[in-house]
Amino acid sequence: SAVDTKLDDITVYPNPNNGVFTIKLDKAKLLATATLNDATGKEIATYILKKGENKIEKEGLPSGFYSIVLDVDGKTETRQLIIK
């Protein structure tokens, strides 16, 4: 949506994945979190992110579409994540 800000210095990979993926922050941030939601918008987990690579291990999720809401210093961006 129009309110989302593009967070170019964050990479989420691989995508699609099997529930194990990495969120990489290129720049140091005051506060960065990632919230994993299922297709209905139900919150599954929230992670505190640090600079560098943050490995997320959430195996056993049903395959399908998920969203990951990145919240960095008050800026929010939602990205789609596919669990296969």
- CA distances from residue 8 to 59, 70, 72 in whole angstroms, order as listed: 27, 11, 11
1-31 pLDDT tens trace: 455 567 888 999 999 999 999 999 998 678 8
Q: Which residues are paired to 52 by β-bridges?
A: 25
pLDDT in tens, 28-41: 678 899 999 999 99
Q: What is this structure's pTM?
A: 0.88
